[in-house]
Amino acid sequence: MKEGEQKLKKKPTKHAFGLMISFSLMIGTVDPGHVKAEPIQDVESQTASHDQKENKTLSRGKAVQELKMNHHVASMTEKRTFQVKFTLPQNVDSKSISWTYGGKPLSEWKKFAQRDYTGPSFITVSDGKAKDGQYTANITFDLPYDTDNLAEPRLQRPLYASLMGTYELAATAHGQVIAQTPVKLTPYDSFHTYDELKTDIDAVTAQAAKKNDRYIKTISIGKSVEGRDIYLTILAKDKASVDQYQNVTHPAMMNNPKQLQADIQSGTFGDYKVPIWLNNIHPNEAPGVDSIFNFFKSMALDDSISYDTKGSNGQKSKINLNMDQALNQVIFLFVYTDNPDGRVHTTRANPNYFDLNRDNSYQTQPETRSVTEQIAKWSPLSFLDLHGFDSNFLIEPTTPPHDPNIEYDLLIDSMLEQAKAMGEAGIANTKYNDYYIPYEEHQKSVKDPNYVPKGISTGWDDATPAYTAVFAMHHGALGQTLEVPESNEESTKALYYSVAGATHYVMENKEKLFMNQLKIYERGIDNKDDRAVDPYLVNAKDEIIGRPRSGNQNFFPEYYVLPIDRSIQKNAYETYRMIEYFLRNGIKVERSIKPVTVSGTTYPAGSFVIDMHQSYHGYANSVLYDGIDVSDYESVAGEIVQDFPVLRGFNRYVIREPRVFEGKTAPVISVTIPATAMPDKPSVYVLLRNTNNDAIKAVNELLASGKHVTMLTKTESEHEAGDFVVSYDDLNPLASKYLLDVSPFSDHMPVGKELKSALVGALGEPAYVLENLGFKVTSDQAQADVLVNTFDSSEQVGKGKPYIAYGNMGMVNVQDWIPGFSFGGPEWKRYEGVFLADVKQDSVITAPYDKQEYFYTITGSYIKTVPKTANILATISSNDDFYKAGWWPGHEAAKGQIMAFTYKENNKNVTVFSNDLTNGAHSQHQFRLLANSIFNAVSNRNQSSESAVGFSDLQSVESWAGSEIHELARLGLVNGFNGGRFEPLKQVTRVEFLAMIVRAFNLYDQKENISFKDVPPASWYETYVKAAVGLKLAEGTGEGYFEPNRAITREEMAKISANAMKITSGATAGNIEEALAKFGDRETIAPYAREAAALLTQKGIIQGLPGSTFGPKAVATRAEAAVIISRIKQIEG
Domain architecture of the chain: domains with CATH: 36-186 (2.60.40.10), 194-526 (3.40.630.10), 559-668 (no CATH), 685-754 (3.30.70), 760-937 (3.40.50.880), 958-1132 (no CATH)
880 with 836: CB under 8 angstroms? no
**Block means of pLDDT (10 residues each) for the chain, length 1133 residues?**
40 38 34 28 35 48 86 97 96 94 97 92 96 96 97 82 96 94 98 97 98 98 98 99 98 98 96 98 98 99 97 88 98 99 96 96 98 99 98 98 99 99 98 98 96 96 98 99 98 99 98 99 99 98 97 98 98 99 99 98 98 99 98 95 98 98 98 95 90 98 95 90 95 97 83 89 96 97 96 93 96 95 91 98 96 97 96 98 98 98 92 97 98 92 49 82 80 74 91 89 70 85 86 89 93 93 87 92 93 91 87 92 88 68
690 with 598: CB under 8 angstroms? no
1014 with 1041: CB under 8 angstroms? yes
List the Cα angle 917/920/924 in 5-degree steps.
50
- How distant, in Å, are the alpha carbons of 268, 330, 414, 504 from that of 381? 21, 10, 11, 13
| Predicted pLDDT at 1026 | 86
| DSSP symbol at 247 | I
| H-run or E-run covering 852 | strand 852-857
| Predicted pLDDT at 941 | 65
407 with 21: CB under 8 angstroms? no
| Predicted pLDDT at 979 | 66
| H-run or E-run covering 1128 | helix 1118-1132
Q: b/e for 80-111, b at 16 or more Cβ within 10 A? A: eebebebebbeebeeeebbbbbbbbebeebbb
Q: Over 440-460, what HEC string results?
A: HHHHHHHHCCCCCCCCCCCCC
Q: Cα separation of 684 and 672, whole Å?
A: 29
Q: Over 1096-1123, what HEC string results?
A: HHHCCCCCCECCCECCCCCECEHHHHHH
Peptide bond into 389 cis (omega under 30): yes
List the Cα angle 88/90/91 in 5-degree steps.
110
Among 471, 477, 476, residue whose Cα is nearest residue 368 = 471
Per DSSP, the three-state class of 190 is coil
786 with 804: CB under 8 angstroms? yes
Among 714, 658, 725, 723, residue whose Cα is nearest residue 685 = 725
| Predicted pLDDT at 62 | 63
Look up the pTM and report it.
0.83
| Predicted pLDDT at 835 | 99
Give me Rg for the CA atoms of the chain.
36
